[in-house]
């Protein structure tokens, strides 16, 4: 089991490869959003709505429930599957979010997220949504959200103006926008027949943005242009740090620690006889450590495999308290 060692932490390098990032592009129909997705490397399209009929060669799976999304997520953890795909495309995020909300409501036995109490339903939705899609980036995938747009008329005193936003509720939009590393609005250029992608707005008339300080305001919509623009933005920011923290390598998978319940229980039990024999105060100290993680009155023998993480922390406290090697 690999333990965290803060003395060995290396400075993070920003990857110019889109793997490991979440891209959210919303816009009007027929602007090339799904076509761009098909150009992403080794893409798997999760079709929450069927819009891939005109895309030859795309690998697509129809998703009709959040349970199916969860099944796909589990399969995407498989090393053999990871050899096949590098990008996961969600078309559309609007329907995916609705399915996730309905799943949480059914799980909690409520009609709407607001029924769970102030903010609790939306927190549950955010947690479920993040578990899947942040989880995919931690596995090393690029995640590409496709969404619809809507125009809103906003009053400012006696004047009115039109703003462009994703066609999501404000709360759902906040969740998705908060996840996105690259966030843009796809639309037809007023000056040509080309589709363009607005990545930074001079005001708040177009909802867009992202985490890259020097990204261009607008580009012609294509995968090549998007990756080149992200690379350029990263390189400009890297120049401020003498180009030390930039890499062409794709984001590596975050390795999740697995806790072996039986091994941890055996390790705990192996320490107890000697500790009790050497220190008359040991039983009280051990009880205090166990109750700290499992609860008042709980014993290690009452622990379940689902509590392996807590047993790990108990063993670490035991080692620290009694100076065990």
The DSSP 8-state label assigned to residue 206 in this structure reads B
41 located within any domain: yes
Q: According to the model, what pLDDT value does residue 251 have?
A: 46
* Helix orientation angle between 66-76 and 120-138, rounded to the nearest 10 degrees: 30
Same domain, 89 and 168: yes
Q: According to the model, what pLDDT value does residue 20 have?
A: 65
285 versus 49: which is more confidently predicted?
285
203 versus 78: which is more confidently predicted?
78
* Helix orientation angle between 120-138 and 170-179, rounded to the nearest 10 degrees: 30
Task: Measure the CA–CA gap between 325 and 308, rounded to whole angstroms.
Answer: 21
User: Considering all CA atoms of the chain, what is the largest pairwise distance in Å, rounded to the nearest integer?
Assistant: 85
Give the HSE-up count for residue 19: Cα atoms under 13 Å, Cβ half-sphere: 20
Supply the CATH number for residue 202's domain.
3.40.50
Q: According to the model, what pLDDT value does residue 35 have?
A: 84
Distant-in-sequence contacts of 212-216, Cβ < 8 A, 24+ apart: 212/181, 212/182, 212/237, 213/237, 215/182
Whether residue 148 is predicted with pLDDT greater than 60 in this model: the reply is yes
253 located within any domain: no
Domains held by the chain: number: 2
Same domain, 108 and 243: yes
Same domain, 302 and 242: no
Same domain, 197 and 269: no
Same domain, 30 and 79: yes
Q: What share of the chain has pLDDT > 70, as a percent?
A: 87
The pTM (predicted TM-score) of the whole model is 0.67
**Arithmetic mean of pLDDT, 249-256:** 48
Given a contact cutoff of 8 angstroms between Cβ atoms, the answer to whether 84 and 42 are in contact is yes
Q: Domain residues for 68?
A: 6-247
**Arithmetic mean of pLDDT, 115-121:** 80
Same domain, 231 and 306: no
* β-strand partners of 160: 155
Whether residue 182 is predicted with pLDDT greater than 70 in this model: the reply is yes
């Amino acid at each position: 089991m690999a333990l965290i060692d803060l003395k060995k932490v290396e400075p993070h390098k920003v990857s110019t490869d889109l793997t490991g990032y979440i891209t959210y592009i919303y816009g009007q129909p027929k602007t090339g959003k799904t076509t761009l997705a098909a150009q992403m490397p080794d893409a798997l399209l999760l079709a929450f709505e069927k819009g891939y009929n005109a895309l030859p060669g795309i690998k697509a799976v129809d998703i009709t429930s959040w349970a199916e999304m969860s099944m796909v997520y589990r399969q995407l953890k498989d090393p053999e599957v990871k050899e096949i795909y590098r990008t996961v495309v969600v078309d559309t995020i609007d329907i995916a979010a609705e399915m996730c909300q309905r799943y949480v409501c059914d799980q909690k036995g409520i009609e709407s997220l607001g029924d769970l109490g102030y903010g609790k339903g939306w927190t549950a939705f955010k947690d479920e949504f993040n578990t899947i899609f942040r989880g995919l980036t931690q596995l090393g995938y690029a995640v590409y959200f496709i969404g619809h747009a809507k125009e809103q008329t906003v009053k400012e005193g006696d004047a009115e103006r039109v703003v462009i936003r994703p066609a999501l509720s404000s709360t759902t939009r906040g969740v998705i926008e908060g996840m996105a590393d690259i966030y843009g609005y796809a639309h037809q250029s007023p000056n040509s027949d080309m589709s363009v992608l607005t990545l930074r707005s001079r005001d708040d008339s177009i909802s867009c943005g992202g985490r890259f300080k020097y990204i261009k305001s607008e580009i012609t919509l294509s995968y090549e242009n998007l990756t080149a623009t992200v690379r350029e933005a990263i390189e400009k920011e890297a120049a401020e740090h003498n180009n030390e923290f930039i890499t062409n390598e794709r984001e590596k998978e975050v390795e999740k620690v697995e806790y072996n319940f039986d091994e941890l229980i055996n390790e705990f039990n192996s320490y107890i006889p000697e500790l009790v024999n050497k220190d008359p105060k040991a039983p009280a100290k051990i009880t205090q450590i166990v109750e700290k993680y499992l609860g008042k009155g709980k014993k290690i023998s009452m622990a379940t495999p689902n509590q392996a993480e807590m047993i790990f922390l108990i063993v670490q406290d035991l080692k620290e308290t009694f100076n065990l090697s």
